[in-house]
Structure 1
Amino acid sequence: MKRLLGLLGFLALTQGVMGLLHEVTDLRWGVVRRIGFLDGYEVYASVALLALGFALCAAGSRTPR
């Protein structure tokens, strides 16, 4: 469970960073820009992914195994 939470946290963190980089530099990276209903809310979704990633990594480090 610890590895799964760590992996999911890492993926969420990277997607959040890629989403913010897309907004700042107009690079074509990340999943957030490809989701249609988030059109206009990409920055908020990227920040939410960053927060989720930090929470998942913290939860993974707290698990006993």
Structure 2
Amino acid sequence: FVKKLYFVLTDPLNYEIIQESHEGFSFTINNQEIFTEKILKSQFRCTKFTNFQRLLNMYGFKKVNNL
């Protein structure tokens, strides 16, 4: 999961959909609908964003507000 996430974050084709922070400690999903359609289904085999959130939580990721 983490390797796939890194691949998605570093792929320049995904920059408008998902972006890693300059420091590399966080990322932002700019468009949840497009992210779900184009990235979740193909890279993570998820059909729901909530399933992706659950995976992030399982791997120790936390939601950060006000970036």
TM-score, reference length from structure 1: 0.31
User: Higher Cα Rg: structure 1 or 2?
Assistant: 1
Tell me: higher relative CO, structure 1 or 2? Use CA pairs within 8 A at least 6 residues apart.
Answer: 1
More helix by proportion, 1 or 2? 1
TM-score, reference length from structure 2: 0.31
